[in-house]
Structure formats: C-alpha cells, structure tokens
Amino acid sequence: MTSTVSGSRRPRRTQEDRSSLSTQRLLQATADLITERGYEGTTLVEIGKRAGYSHGLVTRRFGTKANLLQSLITTLSQRFGHVQISDTLGDSVGIDAVDTILVSIRAHAENSPQSLRGFYALLFESLNPSVGLQEFVAGLHRDFLSDMESVIARGAGVGRLAAGVDPRDLAELMVNLLRGLAYRWMLDADEVDMAAGLDSIHRALNRLAAPHESSS
C-alpha cells in the first residue's frame, strides 16, 4: 500500500480565493480587450470568454460594463500609484515623491507594458460621453493632483524641494507630461520609447525642482 506524504497535497482554494482569482482574470481580460478593440468593441461576452468564464459571471460580479470599467480603473490606478499613493511613496516627499512615482511607472512600462497600456486606454476612452466615465476619471485626476501637491509641499520644509517651486505647479506639470507621453506611446508605440520618455521627464523635473546642493 502506498502512503501519501503529509503536506504533499496543495491546499484547496477557498471560495474567497476563487472569487478573487476570477475577479483578477476578468479585470485583466477587460484591460487586454479595451487595449486591442476599444470600448465599443469590447463586450461582456468577450470579456468572460477571454477570462475563461461565462458572461453570466461577469454580469453577476459587476452588473454593467461601466461598473466593470470603474473597478478596473480603480485597480490599475492603485497599481500605478495614482490612488492610495502612500503605498507607493512611503516616506518620500518633495521631488523624491515625484521621482518615486516616475520610477514606479517606468518599472511597469518595462515589466507589464500591456497592463499599463490598458490603463491609459481606459483613461482616454473616458473622453467618450457614451462610456459614462468622464466624471469618475476626472475625479481620480483631481484626487491624484491633490495628493501629489500635498506630498510635494511637505518636501519644502525638509530641504527636498528647490526654493520658489510651487507644489501645485509641479504636480500639474508632472501629470501633464505623463499624459502627453502616454498619448504618444499609445498612438505610436513602435517609435515612442516609454521608458526613455519617463527618463526625460525625470531629468527635466529634477532640473526644475531638485534642491541645489550647497557648497561649503
């Protein structure tokens, strides 16, 4: 008689584990399809099929495509440091906070470009009124700008921001440069190097806002 070695069997997934996994797969399938086909070309049926589930599960889990997209945008925003930014920034303030955000996005551009492209595709799709996401995405931008302004401002008191730099202006400039680069990358990925573009933004913002080393 053969015996089973204790601990050799994988523990069975709980219902919570299975639910979390299916949600992750549905969100990833949505990001991939939006990137490939756009909002109008993406259906709940196709999302379920791509993820390996029925479209009935998609409907039960999210209700509508708009709800699904809101959930996806929120998830990707967290991943790319656009909400709950304290998780990404840690103790970084001032210009260091800007650097940390740029380094995080650069890492995703190199390691998970498809997910990053899906994130930007969703942001740009929100311009279409029929998608119904304009106010939701605009709110995310407002919150991100406000959070960045706050952490940048804290750098002024600890020597991590050049004198005379307005925290709001720096936050606005960073976001505007990122969105412009993202648009060009989405439009012409063969010609636009996202990582190199992020490095360029990093250098420019540091020339503008990094504190000057005092000479003794």
Cβ neighbours for 1, distance < 8 A, ≥ 6 positions apart: none
Delimit the domains of the chain by residue range: 16-63, 65-209
Predicted confidence band of residue 214 (pLDDT cuts 50, 70, 90)? low
Please tell me which residue, 78 or 103, carries the higher pLDDT value. Answer: 103
Which residues have CB under 8 Å from 133's CB, separation 6+? 66, 69, 70, 73, 122, 125, 126
> 12 pLDDT exceeds 70?
no
What average pLDDT does this structure show over 185-197? 95
SS3 per residue for 171-212:
HHHHHHHHHHHHHHHHHCCCCCCHHHHHHHHHHHHHHHHCCC
Give the confidence band of 102 by pLDDT, cuts at 50, 70, 90. Answer: very high
Distance CA 153, CA 166 (A): 8
Is 91's pLDDT higher than 80?
yes
CATH superfamily, domain at 16-63: Homeodomain-like (1.10.10.60)
Q: What is the largest CA-CA distance in the chain?
A: 81
Average pLDDT, the chain: 85
Q: Which residues of 87-112 are buried (b: 16+ CB within 10 A; e: fewer)?
A: ebbeebbbbbbbbbbbebbbebbeee
The mean pLDDT value for 139-143 works out to 88
Q: What is the pLDDT of residues 17-73, one digit of tens each?
A: 778 888 888 888 888 888 788 778 888 899 999 999 988 888 888 888 888 888 888
Question: Which segment of 40-49, 146-155, 167-176, 187-196 scores lowest on mean pLDDT?
Answer: 40-49
Q: Six-digit token pair at 20?
A: 């979390």
CA–CA dist 90, 10 (Å, integer) = 35
* CB-CB contact of 69 with 81 (8 Å): no
Coil, strand or helix at 115: helix
Domain 65-209 has CATH 1.10.645.10: no
Write the pLDDT tens digit of every residue in 171-188.
999 999 999 999 999 999
> According to the model, what pLDDT value does residue 216 have?
43
Q: Are 120 and 185 in contact (CB under 8 A)?
A: yes
pLDDT at position 128 over 80? yes
pLDDT for position 93 = 96
Q: Is the pLDDT of residue 80 over 70?
A: no
Give this prediction's pTM: 0.76
Residue pair 122/72 in contact (Cβ under 8 Å)? The answer is yes
Radius of gyration of the CA atoms of the chain, in A: 21
Residue type present at position 112: S
Q: Compute the half-sphere exposure of residue 193: CA atoms within 13 Å on the CB side of its CA.
A: 6
